[in-house]
Structure 1
Amino acid sequence: MEKKIKELTLLLLYLTSWEEDEYPDGLRRSWKGYPFYAMDALSEEDWLRRSKRSKSVYLTDAGIKEAEALMKKYNL
């Protein structure tokens, strides 16, 4: 169950993300309104980065690739 929560949280972060124009390479940001344990697990996988002061996270290249693979897995 924890694996699915982690996968679906990453997928939701990706689907609700936006590109930041201020940063190079199309940095994708998303609001971090998900359970802390799921966000911690995604951070440990280096799929996202976050700051304690910011209300948003950004997806790493590895996180974007994983999210795109999950979209195929879940037929989205």
Structure 2
Amino acid sequence: MDIDEEKIDAAVLALLRLTLHDERRAWKGFDWNAMERLHRKGMISDPASKAKSVVLTDEGLCQAEELFRVLFARIE
């Protein structure tokens, strides 16, 4: 199966929104490769640290909010 990593990254970024705390920190319990790609794209801080969470950048936070709405909000 050919996997679209862009879609995976979008879903992971949206799901990081679920674990937000301290305004922009999120638990980093997702696929390591996806987290590294999000870091390279400038969406999150470096996941290769001892911290149990990452910090979403301004752009990452905005995109996470938008993707969360697009992927998970009910359409009424």
User: Quick check: TM above 0.5?
Assistant: yes
State the shift of 1:55 in Å: 1.3
Contact persistence 2:12–2:34 (CA under 8 A)? yes
Give, in whole Å, the separation in 2 of the partners of 1:29 and 1:66: 14
- Which of 48, 58, 74 pairs up with 2:71? 74
The structure in which a higher percent of residues are strand is 1
Shift of 1:71: 2.5
Q: Secondary structure at the match of 1:33?
A: coil
Identity %: 38
| Equivalences, count | 69
2, 6, 12: which one pairs with 1:9? 12
* 2:61 maps to 1:64: yes
Residues 1:46 and 2:42 aligned together: yes
Give the ranges of 4+ consecutive aligned residues of structure 1 lying more than 6 Å apart after TM superposition: none
Normalising by the residue count of structure 2, what TM-score does the alignment of the two structures yield?
A: 0.79
Give the Cα–Cα distance (whole angstroms) in 2 for the partners of residues 69 and 36 of structure 1: 23
> What secondary structure, in the 3-state scheme, does the structure 2 residue paired with 1:30 have?
strand
Q: CA RMSD in A?
A: 1.5
